[in-house]
Amino acid sequence: MLILNCPYCGMDVDETDLHAGGQAHLKREGPGSDDTAFEDYLFMRENPKGVHFERWRHVYGCGKWFHAARCTNTLEVFGTYSAQTLEPPQAIRDAISEKRPGWSWGTLK
Ligand SMILES: [Zn+2]
């Protein structure tokens, strides 16, 4: 069972109280972007066996979106943080690097 801490209301929340929103930190492509970049934005997603950054919504709680860093293989959660960030906080990146030597932010892109 996946349990995430909502960074807004501070509750440890069971996944049944959350709604998954897919990959976090997508770079939006808008008018003027080329077709390939827009196609990648719409359809291409990472699907790693390991560290992944995801969007979640505390749908049966405060209703806010947040980001979570977790391992898709072990369900280990490295941390949750505000969805209003462009990159994961350094503390979370450090926690991942400590447990997954050799991992670095952006290696799957
Ligand atoms: Zn919440």
Query: Which range of residues forms the domain containing residue 74?
Result: 3-99
Domain membership of residue 41 (yes or no) is: yes
Q: Is pLDDT at 108 greater than 60 in this prediction?
A: no
- In angstroms, what is the span from residue 80 Cα to ligand 1's centroid? 11
* In a domain? residue 31: yes
Distance between Cα 106 and ligand 1 center (Å): 27
**CB 80 within 8 Å of CB 36:** no
Considering its fold, how many domains does the chain have in total? 1
Tens digits of residue pLDDT in 51-94: 999 999 999 999 999 999 999 999 999 999 999 999 999 999 99
Query: Rounded distance, CA 65 to CA 81, Å?
Result: 10
Do the domain assignments include residue 108? Answer: no
Distance between Cα 47 and ligand 1 center (Å): 26
The CATH number of the domain holding residue 32 is 3.30.2270.10
Whole-number Å distance, alpha carbon 61 to ligand 1 midpoint, is 5
Alpha-carbon distance of 66 to 81, in angstroms, equals 6
Kindly give the distance from the C-alpha atom of residue 45 to the centroid of ligand 1, in angstroms, as a whole number: 26
